[in-house]
Structure 1
């Protein structure tokens, strides 16, 4: 272990929705004093983080060589499907090429890499999906993340991929998650002067709370720290199936508003999305890793932290 016997973790993308939850969990967990967490961010770097642009490969190499971490958690990515569809070169640069650089450097340093991937590597036709089921992405985002998985594991076979579905959690902007981004339309359509809001009732999602994922990641890091490294493909998912229409109804119930919601039962997104990519979490569950907060409990606690919903 580096840094005077402490276990050093480079948290890449610490300012994002998931990165912030992981940083908070690692800072507050039992035995946190034995960990050294070095956070990086690009556009939202602050006094607690190192500014790092993953597109600057030499800067990435220099950062990792100077830090010499025991583990690297990669939570940074281009995760917006429409952006990836319209700019596949950018998606590849962030989701594949940068990860390949990190994998190569990590292997030479002897650092373990845990990289976040997505359920969108599957086409959604035959859930639930096991980690070794054949991927078949429907869009550029899913393809770029799949290519990133392969680049990581080819460059560093001891590394690990953690596939996740739709995430939500403590946010800095309502649209940071596709779950909380629904709030604006829910509030507006509850006003009798406004028309109903159409919500997708075609695709089944498994919203997963970022503080729960942070517990999963901490458990995986703890396994590595004690010499029980987890390699290859892993997955974690919430276990409550719901469409965006279902999610919107639950949010409306928490807000105690009479939202006029219309179920849209055919896909309307310009970028193709899978219908049901339920991820099997059995590999991590068998290791005693994991936590699931019921959606209604999590969303109620989350919205209570942001009382000025009417401004949406």
Structure 2
């Protein structure tokens, strides 16, 4: 089986690329701004070059991880965000139809407004910020190409091994906890999140593409860990693991009054995915605190 992973230098994409490689599959990792090692450089905005690479490699699956994932950055450059989050997946879906590969488009819980969780895959979308709008429009573009073999996989906020803590909205909280300089941080204690490990998603994707041919994968599926945390609560977990004081981190339970709007609770309903993966390892997610205890102990 031959697999292409886009965005293979990112936190999620690098985990997915490594998981497919460890599974013994023939995998090609594509990256643009941070190409390194065995990854191949490709600008996905160049539709002709993209078609050339895919035609040459002849994948059975394309796992599309590349995206603009930062809501604040998306608001500042909406045109560039629409290109990468909408136009690129539409191009890949068109190529899926032409070249006969299956496409997994990684989407987000931010396609929902956060007012009535948990959200099933068939729930009506209603994003509250530009990032969510572009990811929703990317879903519509992918699923709107008749004849393409496309799957939308929605995931929540991510964490896991990263080059820099600033690469994920969860890992960056480690820098807040370890900053013992006397600076005070107001930390969100309003929005509920379901942080999910990129290693778990990568493992899930390996198992997903190897499901028996008789199992029908729905066009939209959800993957998420099921432990709720606010950002403030995640900081408390990190402080406990590291044995550090946290008086400098102040809980803010009020709705944010400035900055990019974010939904309050976009919990993803995952029972349909559990049913799909019955007999193939289930969801298989790591508990948040337990994973961080092991990971941070190894780094010390």
Q: TM-score, normalised by structure 1?
A: 0.90
State the alpha-carbon separation in 2 of the partners of residues 238 and 73 from structure 1: 20
Does the Cα contact within 8 Å between 2:102 and 2:148 map onto a contact in 1? no
Q: SS at the partner of 1:254?
A: helix
State the alpha-carbon separation in 1 of the partners of residues 201 and 262 from structure 2: 23
State the alpha-carbon separation in 1 of the partners of residues 27 and 4 from structure 2: 6
Q: Which of the numbers 204, 217, 230 marks the counterpart of 2:192?
A: 204
Q: Does 2:155 match 1:161?
A: no
Unaligned 5+ residue runs, structure 1?
1-6, 308-312
State the alpha-carbon separation in 2 of the partners of residues 291 and 56 from structure 1: 37
Q: Does 2:290 match 1:290?
A: no
Q: Does 2:231 match 1:244?
A: yes
Q: CA 1:115–1:252 in 2, change beyond 3 Å: closer, same or farther?
A: same
Q: TM-score, normalised by structure 2?
A: 0.94
Does the Cα contact within 8 Å between 2:4 and 2:61 map onto a contact in 1? yes
Residue by residue over 1:51-74, the C-alpha shift from the partner in whole angstroms, topping out at 9 and shown as x without a partner, is: 011111111111111111111000
Q: Does 2:70 match 1:83?
A: no
Tell me the CA shift for residue 157 of structure 1. 4.7
Total equivalences in the alignment: 293
1:132-281 maps to which residues of 2 (within 5 A)? 132-155=122-145, 156-188=147-179, 191=180, 194-223=182-211, 226=213, 228=215, 230-260=217-247, 261-268=249-256, 269-281=258-270
Q: Which of the numbers 64, 72, 76 marks the counterpart of 1:74?
A: 64
Moved over 3 A (4+): 226-229
Q: SS at the partner of 1:97?
A: helix
Q: Which of the numbers 6, 21, 25 marks the counterpart of 1:27?
A: 21
Q: Does 2:150 match 1:128?
A: no
Tell me the CA shift for residue 229 of structure 1. 5.0
State the alpha-carbon separation in 2 of the partners of residues 229 and 140 from structure 1: 32
Q: Does 2:294 match 1:301?
A: yes
Residue by residue over 1:24-76, the C-alpha shift from the partner in whole angstroms, topping out at 9 and shown as x without a partner, is: 222223xx2xx201111111112311101111111111111111111100000
Residue by residue over 1:261-306, the C-alpha shift from the partner in whole angstroms, topping out at 9 and shown as x without a partner, is: 2111123350000000000111210022421111111112222343
Unaligned 5+ residue runs, structure 2?
none
Does the Cα contact within 8 Å between 2:93 and 2:149 map onto a contact in 1? no
State the alpha-carbon separation in 2 of the partners of residues 242 and 179 from structure 1: 11
Does the Cα contact within 8 Å between 1:236 and 1:284 map onto a contact in 2? yes
Residue by residue over 1:233-273, the C-alpha shift from the partner in whole angstroms, topping out at 9 and shown as x without a partner, is: 00011100010000000000011101112111123350000
Equivalence for 1:116: 106
Q: CA 1:227–1:10 in 2, change beyond 3 Å: closer, same or farther?
A: farther
Q: Does 2:5 match 1:11?
A: yes
Q: SS at the partner of 1:160?
A: strand
State the alpha-carbon separation in 2 of the partners of residues 28 and 55 from structure 1: 29
Does the Cα contact within 8 Å between 1:159 and 1:231 map onto a contact in 2? no
